[in-house]
Chain A
Amino acid sequence: MSGLRIVSAGFAPTLQDFGRPHVQHLGVPPAGALDPVALRIANALVGNPPDSAAIELRVMGPTLEIAAEATRVALVGTGAPVEIVGDRKVEAPSHQSIRLTRGRRLRIGSLADTGVAYLAVEGGFALDPVYDSLSTYTRARIGGLDGRALRDGDLLPLRVDEAGERAERRCADRSWAREAGPARVMLGPQDDYFTADSIAAFFDTEYRITREADRMGMRLDGPALTHARGHDIVSDGIATGAIQVPGNGRPIVLLADHQTTGGYPKLGTVISADVPRLGRLRPGDALRFARVEVEEAEAARRALEERIARVVDRFVPAEPWLDEDALYRRNLVSGLAEPD
């Protein structure tokens, strides 16, 4: 079987695609990539459809071994390089496709510059989808490989045994990952559960991402908000990006693995154009919010879609020396590489 061997998993990597937002009526959380923008760019680099599953990396990347004839991968979302550990050690930059042959090992170190990154693989994974998605939702053991994060020793089956040779592609425009400024928020659905002062304070505060941050949500550190009408509601639906405020007044921004319904008031919802940015944040990072109306949210989403299309349109050929063979030849000739 063709596959990617997980030599060392790093920090609980999972498979993620666009999730299963269409079965929330069955109580199934949407899951899916925390940063769908990076996922789409990674897929485009290896020639996959935008919604293919990729390996979502957080905190610390894995070491993988190619257990197929040839595999094309692309790492997107972090500046960390792909270290190719073979006879000798060389590095290929992120944000470009690379083709590796059987037995090569690649290692991705710690993600110091982002909360999340994606390793896309040409052709994707030979696994059975659950409700049309390979996204891993570990709490219910759904999707991915046996419904869990990847572990040391796993063999992740691939659909393509031998990725063909072609010119490699590079994503030169990285500005999409460096969005600054406040995350834009639409009020509702339960903004009327909060005092006007509390809502004003919410938009005036610089919050910090706490360590209580995972694929389900991020707890924010900042002044507590005051409820005007109590902090329990009869459960209603939850959208990704919802800012839920439980009794202690500390907001939680709900991310991909959120439950489908909940009983805490939600002050507002981060707009879909800015949700991918939330996934990139790490504990300790600062976060501010700005209020927008729906028209602005819709325009922002359209602008994001156009921007992604432009980024993909403007992929450039990777320098030839970044092909794997050329990389090794160059290393032999120049002697630049350090022996292991």
Chain B
Amino acid sequence: MTEDTADTDRPPRFLSAGDTALVVEFGETVDPALNRRVMRLGEAARRAGVAGVVDLVPTFRSLMVHYDPTATTRHALEETLRGLLGEAGTASAAGRVWEFPTLYGGEAGPDLEDVAKRTGLTPERVVELHAGTEYEAYMMGFMPGLAYLGIIPPELELPRRSEPRVRVPSGSVAIATNLTNVYSLESPGGWHLLGRTPVALFDLHRDPPVLLQAGDKVRFKPVDRAAYDDLKRRVDAGDTGFAPIQGPVQGEAGR
């Protein structure tokens, strides 16, 4: 997060990404205030049902609008989006809050000790800080179902690992810079692994497969091995009933 809030108020730039997408750029930093403006425009455009729009992809600091150039033009689209900029509205219509049971440390969180050492905290304090904060999903990306969550307590900020892991198990709860995430699929990764949740953030047997969306709120709840194993068994047996503790349960909220 930057201390410089100069660009949180400036009018957004409309940047071309070819003839099938345009970027509405509110700033160039990771900043919750910028992200709120991104989410507000995305929500306004979604509600307005803008003709020709294929998808609206919020990122930390910009909204990418994918569109069908045979159904609209760049000019018409930009005009419509500019008109929506002034619209008041909530950043997130979904208002979902998730609580992920998480087994911290041990083989589930192989970097917990190292993070404690490098931050000068005890492992217990690292868990307390990480699990004591409610995060917001600023954007999705990197892989299906992966949400970039923030902002973590400043005491936990570390750069990414210099040697990324070749294989990070799905469900791994990790931190890097001022963000945290849950790996939705097994993949290579350079974040510090604090723990693991049995909740499947991407599950082809569930409809829809992706659990989170930008704008959702997320908390992590430390659980012991027995509780983790119990939920893991249910998830592996096909239980797809994991639900937010607040907000709509079924399907993708508001879409």
Whether the Cβ atoms of B144 and A235 lie closer than 8 Å is: no
In the complex, the chain A residue whose C-beta lies closest to that of B30 is A234
B91: interface (CB < 8 Å)? no
B32-90 with Cβ < 8 A to chain A: 54-64, 66, 69-70, 73-75
A236: interface (CB < 8 Å)? yes
* Max count, chain B CB within 10 A of own CB: residue among A22, A188, A270, A301: A188
Query: With A188-B17, A189-B25, A272-B69 in contact, is A235–B60 under 8 Å at CB?
Result: yes
In the complex, the chain B residue whose C-beta lies closest to that of A140 is B144
- Neighbour of B204 across the interface among A147, A189, A294, CB < 8 A: A147
Given the complex, which residues of A lie within 8 Å of B54, measured CB to CB? 21-22
Give the distance in Å from the alpha carbon of A44 to the alpha carbon of B75 in the complex. 33
Given the complex, which residues of B lie within 8 Å of A268, measured CB to CB? 18
Interface size class of B (residues with CB under 8 A): 35 or more
Given the complex, which residues of B lie within 8 Å of A236, measured CB to CB? 23, 25, 59-62, 64
In the complex, the chain A residue whose C-beta lies closest to that of B42 is A25
Query: With A233-B28, A236-B25, A237-B62 in contact, is A260–B57 under 8 Å at CB?
Result: yes
Query: With A25-B58, A25-B213, A233-B28 in contact, is A272–B140 under 8 Å at CB?
Result: no
Given the complex, which residues of B lie within 8 Å of A219, measured CB to CB? none
B183-209 with Cβ < 8 A to chain A: 184-185, 202, 204, 208-209
Q: Which of A65-73, A112-120, A161-169, A238-246 contacts B (4 or more CB under 8 A)?
A: A238-246
A269: interface (CB < 8 Å)? yes
Interface size class of A (residues with CB under 8 A): 35 or more
A333: interface (CB < 8 Å)? no
Whether the Cβ atoms of A26 and B25 lie closer than 8 Å is: no
A252-282 with Cβ < 8 A to chain B: 259-262, 266, 268-273
Whether the Cβ atoms of A237 and B16 lie closer than 8 Å is: no
B92: interface (CB < 8 Å)? no
* Max count, chain B CB within 10 A of own CB: residue among A237, A266, A298: A237
Query: With A131-B208, A140-B144, A260-B140 in contact, is A25–B214 under 8 Å at CB?
Result: yes
B146: interface (CB < 8 Å)? yes
Given the complex, which residues of A lie within 8 Å of B55, measured CB to CB? 21-25
Whether the Cβ atoms of A28 and B210 lie closer than 8 Å is: yes
A204-263 with Cβ < 8 A to chain B: 233-242, 259-262
A174: interface (CB < 8 Å)? no
Give the distance in Å from the alpha carbon of A241 to the alpha carbon of B18 in the complex. 8
Give the distance in Å from the alpha carbon of A294 to the alpha carbon of B74 in the complex. 7
- Neighbour of B18 across the interface among A25, A186, A190, CB < 8 A: A186
Binding site for B on A (CB under 8 A): 21-29, 130-131, 139-142, 147, 186-190, 233-242, 259-262, 266, 268-273, 294, 297-298, 301-302, 305
A-B contact pairs, 18 of them (CB 8 A): A21-B55, A25-B140, A26-B213, A27-B143, A27-B146, A130-B209, A234-B59, A236-B61, A237-B57, A237-B66, A238-B64, A260-B57, A261-B141, A269-B17, A269-B18, A272-B20, A294-B74, A298-B19
